[in-house]
Every structure is written in C-alpha cells, then in structure tokens.
C-alpha cells in the first residue's frame, strides 16, 4: 500500500467560501477519493488560516473579537465542504492550540539556528494579500489582485534569512526535485528567481500594530508573520511535532494544490522554511487558474459572482463538483456563467447520464423481468470494435488513470466518461434497437445487448465515483449491486469487464436528475 498525502491551501478567514475555494477543494477531494479507491493510504488536509492584520481589521469593523469572527468563518467553510461532500481527514485551524505550539517551536529553533534575527524592514505590503510585493509585480503601482496601492512598511521586525536559499531553490525547481505543474508556472518562478532573487523577509510584526497573531516566543512585543504561521499547517495538520505517528507515515506531501495567487510564496517562503528546518520537500505543487464569468473577473459590483452553495441548493452537490472540473482545464483560467451551468445540467445530466441510466434499467425491467440477463456475448452485435466498451475496456481505464493522475479532470469527464462511455453507448442503443430485437423473439441477442449495456453502466459508476459519489451509488442501488466503499474496494478487479452477475435483481428505478426550470 502506497501513501498519498494531499493538501489544499488553508483558506484565509477574512470572508465566506467562494467558488475559488470550492474549486481547489473539490479537485483535492477527487484525487483523495481516487487514491482511496485504488488502495492507497490517503491523508487529505484542508483548513483555515486565521491570523493577521486583515482579519483583525474585519473583526473590529464588525465589533467582534477576532476569535469570534474566525469561529464564524470556520463554521461556514465546514458547512460548505459538508454540502459539497468533501471527505477530508483533517480540518486544521491556525488558532488550534497544537498548531500554535508547533509554530512557536519552529520559530524558536530557526531563531536559535541563526536563520531569524532582529532588524528593520522596509517593503511594499498589500494588506489584502497579506504579502510583501516587489515593484515589478504591481500594475500601475497597484496590487493586480486587489487594485489597491501597497503600503510602504518600515518598522522593527525579525527577519528570516530567505536570501540564503535562492540558489538551492533554483536548483530544486529546475531539476524537478519539487515538481511544479503546469510547466508554465515552473518557468514563471524560475524567471522570477533569476530576475529578482530572494530578499530576507519579515517574520514578525510589532504587536502594537498586529496583535492578532501568535506571539513570538522570544519577544513578546512581536507577533508571527501570518505566512510563517500558515505554512506550518502542512506539518502540524499531521500532528507534528507533538504526535509524530501520522507525520512519519505521510510526510512529505505527494501534491500540494493551490491557486496561482499564492504560488510564489509557496515556492519561496515555504520551501526556504523547509530547507532551514532540514525537512523533506513536497514532491509536487500543482497551480490552477481562476474562474471568470462572461469574460470578466467575478465581482459583487458587476453582479456576476457565482456562489457555489447556491448552485448546490439548486442542482445538487454532484453536479457542482462536475461542472467545476469539467468546464476548465486544471492549470489554466476558465469562464463559467449561470447560463452555461444550466445548459450543461440539462445536456450532460438530465439528457446524458440520467437518460442513459434510465433507458438501460427500464429495458431490463421490461424485457428481462428486472433481472440482469445472461451475457450471451457470442450473439451480441458489435458495430464498431473501436467504440466497443468491452473490447476496449483496458484501454479505457489506462487512459482514465493517465488523465486523472495528470490532473486532466476535464478530459476524464468529457472524453472518457461522457463521450466514450455514455454517448457511444447511447448510439449503441439506437443502432441495435433492443425493442426491435425483442419483437423478433431473438432472446439471446436481446439479452446480450442488455447485459452489455448494464455492465457498461456498472463500469461508469466506478469512473464517476471520485467526481460524483452520490450519483454513482444511486445508480448502483438501482442496478441492484453494492454501493462503493472507497476504503474497501478492489479497484483493479472491479474494473475488469464482466463483473456484473447475471441473475441480479435491479432495484427501484428513479430519476437521477429532475428537470429544473431556469
């Protein structure tokens, strides 16, 4: 059994969950579910980043304590992940006592090792990003993400000697000691490091200015800089350093997923911290893009913000999981509108998967007395061997695994599942016309066709399970077979053609996806 440790960023607790948060977390959940299916020992970490000036200011605006404020936000994220059927192994919060202890231990060790020392820091600081900016990153003097001018900070601070690690990090990234995907992001960070280098960075803020943070253990007048605190969640989320059992079992991360706005700090600050701590580095970082809507950045003022939880209430969790990963190449930007969402629900779910499942099951009910018939393979018409699911079963699953392992979620869903498995089988029904075979009285030929379609449907449930677990198991119930238990599933045996036992009685046939008026 291999181990698989996957992380999302911990999301900044300054506001409610949005579609970007949902996108990263659903993508991680799909990979975690797939790796559980194939028998890997999986740990999936997500959570909340809850310290810093921005949260302090937001809480003060709402006349709440920062703790009250982040408690409410954390609950809203937990509810969102519950509604989206996210199955994480730990939801870490940076206000957790064990995390705070871990941060203090690391900061103390780095200080004692000479990697942190007191000094003065002058830099451009974007409160919205909670990041320091170089002038080359600004657009017309403003942060491109928040469209605000960064503040020039000049204050006493404890500095982390990040500049020491520039050459090491360049070597690590250039030689894929930490794989950066897609390649465009790898090239981007190499260019940044060669052009800008690395400067020492403030690892503290004066407590009189930023009181909402972890106190520096060696200077009570300072709190820990929010990124130095947040990055350590990837370690403390495994119980490190107090309880090292999970840490020793799962470290380092197999893959760390993140959006492009926080990639640079991961590739510089986070890797530098790990090098200073002499910890193993993550095996891979995968950086995805942003959603726009109608070609414009989502904005409350424009009125084009898409709320993932409102979509769940309208269409169900499985469709939202599907549409987020189907409509964008993972690693690039993509566009999503409410009109497109409605179209895809009707085409892919109501008329696609839902219709195919219903047709197959109703024909078994009508022509085989609700019993899965014998597979009379020798009597089944094969119209095109290249499109025959049983003949190309091994190739289908090889491509499926290749695309999923390469984060090509859109190809898994569009090409493998909806084109090859569903559309081609719909065509097969139209070409073989089981209702006409039934009239002819050729029972063996009819049963051969029905078994082929039913076994195709069983195979489809396995393929869609990581993306649409509820739908997969609803179909399996209607097929009369056991639900998928991802922690107890013989994947490589189950995907072999012919696993559906003749004589199985199908269950009650119900519509999977009700029509929705838009």
Place domain 338-494 in its CATH homologous superfamily.
Isoleucyl-tRNA Synthetase; Domain 1 (1.10.730.10)
Q: What is the pLDDT of residue 298?
A: 64
Q: Which of the following is catalytic: 21, 58, 181, 474?
A: 21
Question: 3-state DSSP call for residue 285?
Answer: strand
Q: Answer for the pair 8, 23: CB distance below 8 angstroms, yes or no.
A: no
Whether pTM exceeds 0.85: yes
Token pair recorded at residue 185:
């992001």
Q: What is the pLDDT of residue 321?
A: 97
Residue ranges with strand state E in 99-224? 116-126, 131-133, 151-160, 179-181, 201-202, 204-206, 215-216, 219-224
Q: Which of the following is catalytic: 51, 54, 99, 126?
A: 126
310-313: Cβ within 8 A, 24+ apart: 311/341, 312/83, 312/84
143 is catalytic: yes
Residue in 465, 510, 504 with CA at minimum distance from that of residue 32: 465
300 is catalytic: yes
**Residues whose CB falls within 8 Å of the CB of residue 508, separated by 6 or more in sequence, listed in order:** 478
Q: Which of the following is catalytic: 118, 177, 244, 297?
A: 297
Q: What is the pLDDT of residue 290?
A: 82
**Interatomic CA distance for residues 62 and 64, integer angstroms:** 5
133 is catalytic: no
The alpha carbons of the chain give a radius of gyration, in whole angstroms, of 26
Q: What is the pLDDT of residue 99?
A: 97
Q: Which of the following is catalytic: 54, 78, 99, 129?
A: 129
21 is catalytic: yes
Q: Where are the CATH 3.40.50.620 domain residues in the chain?
A: 3-288
Q: Which of the following is catalytic: 18, 64, 83, 444?
A: 18
18 is catalytic: yes
Q: Where are the CATH 1.10.730.10 domain residues in the chain?
A: 338-494
Q: What is the pLDDT of residue 162?
A: 97
Q: What is the pLDDT of residue 516?
A: 82
How far from each other are the two terminal CA atoms of the chain, in whole angstroms?
A: 47
Which residue ranges in the chain fall short of pLDDT 50? Answer: none
**Interatomic CA distance for residues 66 and 186, integer angstroms:** 37
With b for 16 or more beta-carbon neighbours within 10 A and e for fewer, the 52-88 pattern comes to: bbbbbebbeeeeeebeebbbebbeebbebbebbbbeb
Q: Answer for the pair 146, 153: CB distance below 8 angstroms, yes or no.
A: no
DSSP character at residue 348: I
297 is catalytic: yes
**Interatomic CA distance for residues 123 and 27, integer angstroms:** 35
What number does CATH give the domain 3-288? 3.40.50.620
DSSP character at residue 418: I
Q: What is the pLDDT of residue 44?
A: 98
Q: To which residue do tokens 């984060």 refer?
A: 407
Q: Which of the following is catalytic: 146, 482, 496, 501?
A: 146
Biggest CA–CA distance in the chain, Å, is 90
- Starting at the edge strand found earlier in the chain, the sheet holding 219-224 runs 204-206, 219-224, 215-216
DSSP secondary structure string, 47-73? EEE--SHHHHHHHHHTT--HHHHHHHH
Q: Which of the following is catalytic: 143, 186, 222, 344?
A: 143
The 10s digit of each residue's pLDDT in 241-282 is 998 899 999 999 999 999 999 999 999 999 999 999 999 999
């Amino acid at each position: 059994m291999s181990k698989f440790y996957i992380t999302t960023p911990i999301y900044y607790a300054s506001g409610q969950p949005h579609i970007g948060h949902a996108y990263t977390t659903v993508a991680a959940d799909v990979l975690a579910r797939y790796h559980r299916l194939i028998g890997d020992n999986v740990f999936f970490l997500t959570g909340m980043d809850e310290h810093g000036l921005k949260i302090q200011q937001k809480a003060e605006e709402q006349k709440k304590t920062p703790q009250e404020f982040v408690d409410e936000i954390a609950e809203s994220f937990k509810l969102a992940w519950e509604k989206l059927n996210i199955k994480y192994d730990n939801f870490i919060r940076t206000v957790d006592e064990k995390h705070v202890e871990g941060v203090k231990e690391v900061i103390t060790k780095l200080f004692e090792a000479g990697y942190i020392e007191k000094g003065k820091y002058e830099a451009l600081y974007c409160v919205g990003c909670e990041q320091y900016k170089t002038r080359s990153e600004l657009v017309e003097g403003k942060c491109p993400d928040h469209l605000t001018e960064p503040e020039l900070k000049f204050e006493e601070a404890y500095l982390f000697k990040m500049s020491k690690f520039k050459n090491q990090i360049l070597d690590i990234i250039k030689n894929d000691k930490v794989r950066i995907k897609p390649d465009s992001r790898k090239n981007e960070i190499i260019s940044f490091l060669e052009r800008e280098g690395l400067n020492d960075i403030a690892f503290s803020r004066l407590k009189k200015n930023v009181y909402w943070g972890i106190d520096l253990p060696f200077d009570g007048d300072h709190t820990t800089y929010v990124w130095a605190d947040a990055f350590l969640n990837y370690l403390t989320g495994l119980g490190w350093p107090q309880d090292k059992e999970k840490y020793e079992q799962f470290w380092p991360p197999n893959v760390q997923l993140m959006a492009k706005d926080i990639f640079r700090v991961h590739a510089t600050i986070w890797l530098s911290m790990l090098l200073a701590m002499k910890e193993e580095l993550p095996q891979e970082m995968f950086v995805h893009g942003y959603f726009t809507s109608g070609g414009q950045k989502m904005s409350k003022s424009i009125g084009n913000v898409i709320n993932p939880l409102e979509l769940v209430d309208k269409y169900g969790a499985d469709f939202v999981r599907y549409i987020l990963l189907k409509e964008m190449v993972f690693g690039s930007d993509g566009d999503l509108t409410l009109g497109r969402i409605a179209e895809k629900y009707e085409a892919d779910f109501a008329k696609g998967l839902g219709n195919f499942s219903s047709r197959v099951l109703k024909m078994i009910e009508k022509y085989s007395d609700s019993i899965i018939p014998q597979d009379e393979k020798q009597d089944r018409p094969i119209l095109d061997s290249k499109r025959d699911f049983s003949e190309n079963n091994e190739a289908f699953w090889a491509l499926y695994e290749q695309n999923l392992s390469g984060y090509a979620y859109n190809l898994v869903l569009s090409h493998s599942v909806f084109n090859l498995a569903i559309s081609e089988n719909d065509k097969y029904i139209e070409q073989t016309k089981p209702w006409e075979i039934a009239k002819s009285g050729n029972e063996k030929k009819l049963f051969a066709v029905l078994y082929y379609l039913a076994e195709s449907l069983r195979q489809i449930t396995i393929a869609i399970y990581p993306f649409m677990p509820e739908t997969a198991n609803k179909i399996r119930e209607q097929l009369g077979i056991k639900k998928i238990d991802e922690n107890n599933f013989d994947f490589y045996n189950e995907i072999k053609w012919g696993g559906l036992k003749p004589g199985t009685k199908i269950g009650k046939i119900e519509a999977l996806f009700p029509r929705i008026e838009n």
